[in-house]
Amino acid sequence: MLILLNYFHYLCNVRKNVIDIYMRALMFGWEFPPHISGGLGTASYGLTKGLAKAGIEILFVMPKASGDEDESIGKIINASDVSAKPDVFQSEYWKNVDFLKIPSGLLPYVGIEEYQELRTESAGSKTTVSHLGEKYLFSGKYGANLMEEVARYAMVAATIAEQEQFDIIHAHDWLTYPAGIAAKRISGKPLVIHVHATEFDRSGESVNQTVYDLEKTGMEEADAIMAVSNLTRNIVISKYNIDESKVFTVHNAVDFSGYKTTSVERKLKERIVTFLGRITFQKGPEYFIEAASKVLKRIPDVRFVMAGSGDMMNRMVKRVAKLNMGSKFHFTGFLKGDEVNKMYSYSDVYVMPSVSEPFGISPLEAMRSGVPVIISKQSGVSEVLKHAIKINFWDVDALADSIHALLNYDGVKKMITRCGYDEVNSFSWDDTAKMVKNIYFNTLNSFKTKLFV
């Protein structure tokens, strides 16, 4: 037996040397640039690009590809083009996949204000995961049929796993965990999941039980878990009861290659303070508004901008009106691409008062644009940033004082802006990719060892 084990470890070392030269990862994501809805797509692209430079070949599967994705860093597989093969679903696994039978009426990314409208639009639609052998047309969005698409995506993932050759599976966020599990069961290859956010970040303590169960199942099935911050890692361990030995912190980075500074003509004399993100509980928009009210009592010549959309939009508009700030407060709606860069260029201060932010890439983008930032201590990015003002999300007075200081004291603003610019330009997805590559190797070796012991 000892001889066999020694021989096995020899083979593993040989295999590791081979992997150093060539390794293929089957990666499941929900969005990919240029068509993205938030930080998940940006992070997926940055990491994929870094892994490609590190010598890892990527097969990136997404629900719906548009054809204009950057395939120089890996092969893009459009799930909408894949026929789910009936013979793939004859295994014992599929007889026990109860978590795939999900009602489409669950809307984890919208609040009560948007629920009725979306349900009216989808009235009469039926939830089904049948029609095996046919292609599913995925929207790739976060609408009323999201949970149905998550289930169908897993079925297509099983077919892809049977057809493609790869060494390891990588699933981004809960939307793709069922797909990762299906691919693992069909292929027998190890699964790594990437936790970009948890249901506790999105909903606080009022969690959607179905989403929580999907997340927990993915974490339990995974051979390794990558969390985007220590904050997120601790949530995974404490809230989902996951063995800490398989949970690793891998901080996000930012990709500024090809970045161009956007010059804008400012027609307003007032300074501009910006909030940019989803207008949801997680992002803390109400604290931004309350702080704005306090600042305006001290500095009248300031304008506040809330750029984004979300289920708390109507409530925030009403609160601004009640505080009589209508002439000093602007809602832009969802911004993308060059619109985001222009907004940074207009801004004198950027604020991210998130209640629970797994990481938060937007402050890095603002710093790269030469804007000083204020972030909550309850954000993952606060773990890596040194040149940003950090406050507790609930401390409206501290937030107002911080905004006031950056607007009134040029020396403070210039120092934070200059040091922040230098700091953020030192972050690289290449470094993050090296950590992920190392996790791949260790997971593969550990997985193989378990098979033979």
Residue 38 pLDDT: 63
Q: Give the CATH number, domain containing residue 87.
A: 3.40.50.2000
The number of C-alpha atoms within 13 Å of 109 and in the hemisphere containing its C-beta is: 16
Q: Are residues 47 and 196 in the same domain?
A: yes
Q: What is the mean pLDDT of the chain?
A: 82
Q: Are residues 413 and 434 in the same domain?
A: no
The percent of residues in the chain predicted with pLDDT above 90, rounded, is 54
User: Does residue 340 sit within a domain?
Assistant: yes
Query: How many Å from the N-terminal Cα to the C-terminal Cα in the chain?
Result: 10
Domain range for residue 203? Answer: 12-253+429-446
Query: Can you give the three-state secondary structure of 170-203, one letter per residue?
Result: EEECHHHHHHHHHHHHHHCCCEEEEECCCHHHHH
Residue 45 pLDDT: 85
User: Does residue 79 sit within a domain?
Assistant: yes
User: Does residue 258 sit within a domain?
Assistant: no
Q: Which of 83-92, 237-246, 282-291, 292-301 has the lowest mean pLDDT?
A: 83-92
Q: Which of 190-199, 318-327, 331-340 has the lowest mean pLDDT?
A: 331-340
Q: In 65-143, where does DSSP find H-type helix?
A: 92-95, 112-121
The answer to whether residues 32 and 60 touch, using CB atoms and an 8 Å cutoff, is yes
Residue 93 pLDDT: 44
Q: What are phi and psi of 191, to 5 degrees?
A: -115, 130
Q: Is 372 helix (H, G, I), strand (E, B) or coil?
A: coil
Q: Is 325 helix (H, G, I), strand (E, B) or coil?
A: coil
User: Does residue 342 sit within a domain?
Assistant: yes
Predicted confidence band at 449 (pLDDT cuts at 50, 70, 90)?
A: confident
Q: Are residues 193 and 312 in the same domain?
A: no
Q: Are residues 207 and 292 in the same domain?
A: no
- Tell which wins on pLDDT, 419 or 82: 419
This prediction's pTM: 0.80
User: Does residue 339 sit within a domain?
Assistant: yes
Q: Are residues 85 and 181 in the same domain?
A: yes
Q: Are residues 133 and 42 in the same domain?
A: yes
Q: Are residues 189 and 275 in the same domain?
A: no
Q: Are residues 202 and 68 in the same domain?
A: yes
Q: How many domains does the chain have?
A: 2
Q: Per residue in 54-88, pLDDT tens?
A: 999 999 888 876 666 676 777 788 777 776 655 54
How far apart CA 116 and CA 135 sit, in angstroms, is 29
User: Does residue 451 sit within a domain?
Assistant: no
The structure tokens listed for 297 are 């009592």
Q: Are residues 285 and 136 in the same domain?
A: no
Q: Per residue in 355-383, pLDDT tens?
A: 989 999 899 999 999 999 999 999 999 99
Q: Are residues 335 and 214 in the same domain?
A: no
The answer to whether residues 155 and 149 touch, using CB atoms and an 8 Å cutoff, is no
Which among 26-30, 130-134, 390-394 has the top mean pLDDT? 390-394
Asked whether residue 149 carries a pLDDT value surpassing 90, the answer given is: no
User: Does residue 260 sit within a domain?
Assistant: no
Q: Are residues 248 and 296 in the same domain?
A: no
User: Does residue 99 sit within a domain?
Assistant: yes
The number of C-alpha atoms within 13 Å of 89 and in the hemisphere containing its C-beta is: 19
How far apart CA 16 and CA 440 sit, in angstroms, is 11
Which among 17-26, 251-260, 295-304 has the top mean pLDDT? 295-304
Q: What are phi and psi of 31, to 5 degrees?
A: -150, 160
How far apart CA 226 and CA 352 sit, in angstroms, is 24
Q: Are residues 29 and 158 in the same domain?
A: yes
